[in-house]
Amino acid sequence: MVLDTSQQIIDQWVATWVHLRGITTSEVEGHRLVHVAGPSRETELVCIDPGVAELARLARHVAGDPRAMLTVVADDVGPYLTSHLPPGVRIDRDDETLMSTRLVGQPIPALPDDLTFRWDVVGNGTTYTLESGRSIAAVGTVGVLGSVATFDRVETMPAFQRRGLGRHVMAALTVQAMGRGATHGVLAATAQGSQLYSSLGWHGRLEMLSLMGT
């Protein structure tokens, strides 16, 4: 499978993310509503470049609800940033990018001597954790659905940054995913994370803008 269109990338991102976290989706006015049930939000309505007027109308589904998110995925989210938002809605994030790649196995960088690692499998997710004593240094999770893998919650703790741990975690997760038959990867990256992923051969495909109710 080649993720060569915006629709395919978005569909696979949602499908693998939902599969990984063991959550469900429904439909609201033709758009996918993800029942996240997480610490930061209960639901996330995902819309593919709906247009400024349609976004204002859809925003009523999150207005006034601080546990509801509306995410726009588009080639350019600039017009949405300058559009008028209805009362009870705020911009939550405007720095994320939907990225994809063809997975290529590479040698896993050596682990620093002061760190240990462990693998944990919970549901459909496999988590790789680096630890320094009882402290987590870096962590990341991967889920595989068919030939597509999604990488989730990849993070290096502030005290352990600039040691190449993010690169190590991504390499380990990639080898693990490929061993389960994945040939392509998709993920939602923050501005900071996208720099790492770009250096590993990932490509930014679509911009993301998330709104939250207040």
pLDDT at 1 exceeding the cut of 60: no
Residue 166 CA to residue 157 CA, distance in Å, equals: 10
pLDDT recorded at residue 104:
92
Q: Tokens 């998709």, residue?
A: 186
**What does the block give as tokens for 135?**
């402290």
pLDDT recorded at residue 4:
66
Q: What are the sequence ranges of the domains in the chain?
A: 6-99+207-213, 101-203
Q: Calculate the dihedral angle through the C-alpha atoms of 124, 119, 184, 194, rounding to the nearest 10 degrees.
A: 110
Q: Determine the Cα angle at 184 with ends 183 and 186, to 5°.
A: 155
Determine the residue type at 19: H
Mean pLDDT for 73-92 is 94
pLDDT digits (tens, 9 = 90+) for 15-25: 999 999 999 99
At the top level of CATH, the class of 101-203 is: alpha beta
Q: Are 130 and 137 in contact (CB under 8 A)?
A: yes
